[in-house]
A and B are shown apart, each in its own frame.
Chain A
Amino acid sequence: MPLLLELFLRFFYVGLFSVGGGLATLPFLQKMGEATGWFSATQLSDMVAVSESTPGPLGINMATYVGFQTAGVPGAILAVLGEIAPALVIIFILSRFLLKFRNSKYVAWAFYGLRAASAGLIAMSCMSVAVLALFDKAALLDGGTFFSALNYWGIVLTAVIFVGLRIFKKVHPIVFIAIGAAAGIGFHLLIGG
């Protein structure tokens, strides 16, 4: 099978069976690496690190990375197209279904519950992102105390930005991201580390 076609099909499979966001594609990618020899487990963990520290959805970044390493720019494009194709088709079908049953009271009732679950899940993801960034689990396991594992500087910055968001409601989120990046660079230049 031509390499590009194989890339497309393999990522189509990942896109079809990974449910629940970018990180859910990780186990599939591990298997793909083993089956094809396109990348090693170490390379995969590097990819995750790069994907997490660049903008864009994690799953898409990883597909791009694997595709590019395997077959250059055409590989990157075909891997991404393969990964998004199944979701596109499924969402089109669901949209049509939702439109058709929009006035059904059962659908309305289901969404009344669905939205509440969605709120709980979003709050939980928000919490786990915060713990990951503001709390150093490894330091705690290394014998540190709870308080020494806290990222104080990060907590202060989070609080300052949050207050800023509540005051300057018209300012675009991108501006705050730029301020955060500048603050991070400035802070490390100041403390010299």
Chain B
Amino acid sequence: MKELLQLFLIFAKIGGFTFGGGLAMLPILEREVVQKRKWASEEEMMDYYAIGQCTPGIIAVNTATFIGNKRKGILGGIVATLGVVTPSVIIISLIAAFIQNFQDVQWVQWAFSGIRPTVIALILNATIKITKKSLVDVWTVLLALAVFFLSAFTNITPALFVLGAGVLGIFLKGGNPRAAAA
């Protein structure tokens, strides 16, 4: 019961401080879930993120479901997911009810002109931390670079990169006895 409440509260905290898309939750997720509570490893976070890219639904929500489910089964998954969406439901309902032109409020705009660069620094820092353990050899570095440039210059859906990389991983490891042993 205590851990369920903890799951709800921590994911509510993550939902309440994610500014700008699923990736923005990475810094707080990394701090709260990986570092502080060791509920998941860096590698597992990458797995969840990869799976979230090619399954339906919102990546932040999918990650919450995965971690909640890992800790406390289906009930944990539901509780963590409800936690991550609760702040949104409350905040957006309040704004929709009381503030007509929220994005025209001047000090909100000012605050966001500072929050946006901050979130970039946070995401960059979290990206460095979390991707380090996934780039284990020359092949993975090359593969990551290829995905980086292909997704920058083409409109291929991320799901295809993830699935393709999975198949490639099997061939790289399976087709190479030395690598497979490592």
Using a CB–CB cutoff of 8 Å, the interface residues on chain A facing chain B are 15-23, 25, 46, 49-61, 64-65, 68-69, 73, 76-77, 80, 83-84, 86-88, 90-92, 94-95, 98, 105-106, 108-127, 129-130, 133-134, 151, 153-155, 157-159, 161-162, 164-166, 172-174, 176-177, 179-189
Contacts and interface: CB of A to CB of B under 8 A. Distances in A.
Interface residues of B, number: 105
A95 B91 CA distance: 31
Majority secondary structure, B binding face: helix
Interface of B: 13, 15-28, 31, 43, 46-47, 49-62, 65-66, 69-70, 74, 77-78, 81, 84-85, 87-89, 91-93, 95-97, 102-103, 107-108, 110-125, 127, 130-131, 134-136, 139-141, 143-148, 151-152, 157-159, 161-162, 164-170, 172-174, 180
A16 B55 CA distance: 9
Interface of A is mostly: helix
Given A109-B173, A120-B144, A123-B127, A115 B56 contact: no
Contacts of A188: 110, 113
A114 B102 CA distance: 40
A86 B57 contact: yes
B165 to A, nearest CB: 3
Given A55-B18, A56-B85, A186-B114, 19 more contacts: A18-B56, A50-B92, A50-B96, A52-B20, A55-B91, A56-B92, A57-B84, A60-B61, A69-B96, A87-B65, A92-B77, A116-B144, A116-B165, A117-B166, A118-B134, A121-B161, A153-B113, A165-B125, A185-B111
B170 A109 contact: yes
A52 B121 CA distance: 18
B143 A116 contact: yes
Contact of B97 (A22, A68, A154): A68
